[in-house]
């Protein structure tokens, strides 16, 4: 016995049980690497990043940006490298962690921070930051680990 629904309610039987999930977030891959052409010789597009990868790239970008680098938005960025121009002490790691937390909470509403670890290397004026976060729209937990260092 075939069951039919009205035209307004659509016929469930014709709707596929598997649908394409649209990505919440799409972004350009900032490495600007092009996709392989598989020997065709034709120009190909650059890679994109989706969802958690896009958000991860965004957080890395945020942490590596200092104040006054973004045009017309002087207080955008983690502004973390300023701490590496001072002598490192017992509080520097927690300062880095606070700065990372503040920057992400202020500029990246797509994630929920789960944990932040900062390990300072005073000899090289740098630190390794490890951020564990959850992408709110997908509940996917991801970890970002990046080096932050003075350029000079």
Partner 1 sequence: MATNITSTELDFENIKNSLKTYFAQKSEFNGYDFEASGLNNILDVLAYNTHFNGLIANFATNESFLNTSQLRSSVVSHAEGLGYRPRSRSSSKSTLSLTLDLSAVSSGSRPTNITLPIGTEFTASNEQGQFKFKTRVSYSATDSGAGIYEFLDTNGEPNVVVYEGQNKTKTFYSGTVTENQVYIIPDETIDTKDMSVLVYPSPTSEKFETYTFLENAITVTAATQYYDIKEAPNGYYELNFGDGISFGKSPDPGNKIVVTYNSCNSILANNSSGFSAVNDLSVDGNSYAISVNTQILSHSGMPREPIESIRKLAPIQFSAQQRLVTSLDYKGMIQSNFPIVEDVTVWGGEENVPKDYGKVYISIKYPINTTQFVKTETENSIKNLFSDNLAVMSIDNKFIEPSLTYMEIKTNFYYNDGLTSQSNSYLETLIRNYISTYFNTNLGKFESKFRRSPILTGIDNIDKSILASKMSIKLQQRFLPNVGISSAYDIYFPVALASANTNTYVITSSRFTVGGATCTLRNTLGTADIEIYNESAGKVQTANIGTYDYKTGTISLVGFEPTAIVGGSAYIKVSAVPLDPAVISPLRNYTLVLDESENEAFGNIEHTETKIVL
Whole-number Å distance between alpha carbons of 56 and 63? 11
Give the residue with the Cβ less far from partner 1, 65 or 142: 65
Contacting partner 1 (CB under 8 A), which of 5, 10, 26, 68? 26
Residues 96-125, mask of contacts with partner 1 (x by CB under 8 A): -----------xxxx---------------
Among candidate residues 53, 74, 63, 56, the one with its CA nearest the CA of residue 102: 63
Assign residue 129 a region (left: φ > 0; alpha: ψ between -120 and 50; beta: otherwise): beta
Give the residue with the Cβ less far from partner 1, 49 or 83: 49
In the complex, the smallest distance separating the C-beta of residue 108 from partner 1, rounded to whole angstroms, is 6
Give the residue with the Cβ less far from partner 1, 93 or 108: 108
Whole-number Å distance between alpha carbons of 26 and 11? 32
Give the residue with the Cβ less far from partner 1, 65 or 125: 65
Size of the residue set binding partner 1 (CB under 8 A): 27
Interaction between residue 136 and partner 1 (CB under 8 A): no
Q: Which residue has the tokens 């004026």?
A: 125
Q: What is the CA radius of gyration of the chain?
A: 22
Whole-number Å distance between alpha carbons of 61 and 83? 18
Please report, as ranges, the residues that interact with partner 1 according to CB under 8 A: 22-30, 48-49, 54, 57-59, 61-62, 65, 70-73, 76, 107-110
């Amino acid at each position: 016995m075939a069951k039919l629904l009205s035209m307004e309610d659509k016929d469930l039987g014709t709707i596929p049980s598997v649908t394409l999930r649209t990505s919440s977030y799409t972004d350009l891959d900032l490495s600007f690497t092009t996709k392989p052409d598989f020997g065709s010789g034709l120009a190909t597009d650059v890679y994109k990043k989706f969802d958690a990868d896009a958000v991860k790239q965004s957080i890395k970008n945020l942490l590596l940006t200092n104040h006054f680098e973004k045009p017309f938005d002087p207080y955008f960025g983690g502004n973390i490298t300023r701490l590496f121009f001072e002598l490192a002490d017992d509080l520097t790691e927690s300062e880095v962690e606070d700065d990372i937390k503040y920057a992400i909470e202020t500029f990246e509403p797509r994630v929920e921070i789960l944990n932040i670890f900062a390990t300072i290397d005073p000899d090289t004026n740098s630190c390794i930051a490890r951020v564990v976060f959850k992408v709110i729209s997908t509940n996917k937990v991801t970890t970002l680990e990046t080096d932050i260092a003075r350029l000079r």
